[in-house]
Amino acid sequence: MGFGLAICVLPGAGLAQDLAQNLALPGGARLTEEITTSPDAVLLANGPWTAEGIPRIQARGTITRQAWRIEGQGITTLQILDPLVAQLGPQAFDVIYTCADRICGGFDFRFGIEVLAAPAMYVDLSDYRYLSARAQDGRAVSILVSRTQSASFVQIIRAVPEGAQAAEVTADSPRLLPRLLPRLLPGLPRGNAQGFGALLEADGHVVLDDLTFETGSASLGGGTFATLGALAAYLRDRPAARVALVGHTDAVGGLDGNIELSRRRAESVAERLMSLGVPRGQIEAQGVGYLSPLLSNVTEEGREANRRVEAVLLTVE
């Protein structure tokens, strides 16, 4: 059975109005290529590369492939991807698979997935991150992030079935935070490494919400913190596990200063974990400033929730 195929290529355009269901990239992002085909199908990775290849799922509908370039140094692939993942939650997406370079499968994974051609998209084989997600109405999206010494590159492929509508999500919706945003710990046994580890492995993110910092300071408060004790015990029991500590701030002040403050707070937490017997090789520290809020920065409650450090599980084995 034949069908019509529409293709639209728009290199060099400004910010698209319907970018991956209204995902917002960092300021200064420049669209380098856009290709839309309909009806069409796309394969999204749902696991790492193995000798048998890359496991995939198929999504059908209107397929839009976009590549973006962000000029500048110093921003990591995690700092770009994390805010995009946070924006998917209110749009009712669930993560299918996410990984970083070596964990994905390195060379074999990169050349086993669909990637727009250079110079529109560039992938450093030792520094890239990938994510695929899907909504219950059939919408799907994949995000690939990499960088050079002078610029970052983002590829977004989205599939929108005919008639698919964005689900209405409110603050009370159970789909708003479950797998895409880091879960808070209240209600869990804070000092229980087993319960902490189960949540970390299930969600991939946990907010270390009992940490305290002096105002405007990167110094971690004195005393013990149950979340750090549980995380340290989890990592000591699993020598092959690695986590990224990701610092976040509220939106008060400039971006550069907040990124630096959040990074130093994450480093402070890393140092405390090392004092609890965790090898440095199991920990990395990053800061994203105010780029990935949990709540609105309009209220004091929201700003307080946004000032946090998260543990992000990178690998277990």
Residue 121: predicted pLDDT: 94
Q: What φ, ψ does residue 149 adopt, rounded to 5°?
A: -70, -20
pLDDT score of 38: 85
pLDDT band with cut points at 50, 70 and 90 for residue 176: very low
Q: Look at 3-12, 78-87, 115-124, 131-140 and tell me which has the smallest mean pLDDT.
A: 3-12
- On the question of pLDDT at 60 being above 60, the answer is yes
Query: What is the average pLDDT across 134-150?
Result: 90
Q: Cα 192 to chain center, whole Å?
A: 26
- Domains of the chain plus CATH, in order, are 6-160 (no CATH), 193-315 (3.30.1330.60)
Supply the pLDDT for residue 4.
32
> Which of the pair, 66 or 315, is modelled with greater confidence?
66
Quick one: pLDDT at residue 164? 64
pLDDT in tens, 64-73: 999 999 887 6
Query: How far, in Å, CA of 111 to CA of 105, rounded?
Result: 10
Q: What percent of the chain has pLDDT over 90?
A: 37
Higher pLDDT, 3 or 83: 83
Mean pLDDT rounded to a whole number for the chain? 79
Of 97, 243, 86, 242, the residue nearest 178 (C-alpha): 86
Confidence of residue 281 (pLDDT cuts 50, 70, 90): very high
pLDDT attached to residue 309: 92
User: Could you tell me which residue, 234 or 297, shows the higher pLDDT?
Assistant: 234
Which one has a higher pLDDT value, 276 or 189? 276
- Residue 270 pLDDT greater than 50, yes or no: yes
